[in-house]
């Protein structure tokens, strides 16, 4: 899914819901679609605020919820009272999350995917989607921990 397709899907969805495609929604949509990597909703609020654009926090939240509902944005994790999001325009991947510094490492591992498929097959389970998040210490934090001990 590319950005122009995502924008068309967004416009189509809000029209079907009887909502308007306002300039404020468009600014929020553009800001989110142009965000690289993982983000918190406050990152988007701050970027819009820094551009002196008049968009309410509620509009940012509502727009993000629409993007989640149509699958353009994915809630990656809830950790330390923060919700982290990412744009769903790239291939499936899993996450390693550092519980110390919050660093998120994306990875793809064919063997893990195959094992998950095999497990589903064994149990007669038909998966619709999955996500794998492994929490622990990243290399930098683990080495600092080793030094302290």
Q: Is 18 helix (H, G, I), strand (E, B) or coil?
A: coil
CA distance 114 to 120: 10
Domain ranges for the chain? 1-90, 91-149
Has domain 91-149 been given CATH number 3.40.50.10140? no
CATH class entry, domain 1-90: mainly alpha
* pTM of the predicted protein model: 0.68
In this prediction, residues 104-115 reach a mean pLDDT of 88
In this prediction, residues 76-97 reach a mean pLDDT of 80
pLDDT in tens, 121-147: 999 999 887 888 898 999 999 988 766
Is 111 buried (19+), middle (13-18) or exposed (0-12) by CB count in 10 A?
exposed
Q: Is 101 annotated as a binding residue?
A: yes
Q: What is the pLDDT of residue 74?
A: 85
Q: Is 95 annotated as a binding residue?
A: no
Residue pair 1/89 in contact (Cβ under 8 Å)? The answer is: yes
Q: Is 113 annotated as a binding residue?
A: yes
pLDDT in tens, 24-65: 999 999 999 998 888 999 999 999 999 988 899 999 999 999
Q: What is the pLDDT of residue 144?
A: 80
Q: What is the pLDDT of residue 97?
A: 87
Does residue 92 register a pLDDT over 60?
A: yes
Q: Is 120 annotated as a binding residue?
A: no
């Amino acid at each position: 899914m590319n950005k122009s397709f995502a924008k068309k899907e967004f416009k189509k969805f809000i029209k079907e819901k009887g909502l308007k495609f306002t300039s404020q929604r468009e600014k929020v949509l553009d800001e989110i679609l142009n965000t690289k990597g993982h983000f918190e909703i406050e990152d988007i609020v701050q970027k819009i605020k820094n551009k002196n654009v008049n968009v309410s926090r509620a509009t940012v939240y509502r727009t993000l919820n629409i993007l989640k509902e149509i699958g353009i944005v994915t809630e990656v994790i809830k950790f330390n009272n923060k919700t982290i999001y990412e744009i769903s325009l790239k291939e499936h991947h899993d996450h390693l999350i550092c519980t110390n510094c919050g660093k998120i490492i994306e990875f793809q591992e064919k063997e893990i995917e195959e094992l998950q498929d095999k497990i589903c097959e064994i149990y007669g389970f038909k998966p619709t989607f999955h996500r794998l998040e492994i929490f622990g210490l990243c290399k930098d934090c683990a080495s600092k921990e080793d030094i302290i001990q």
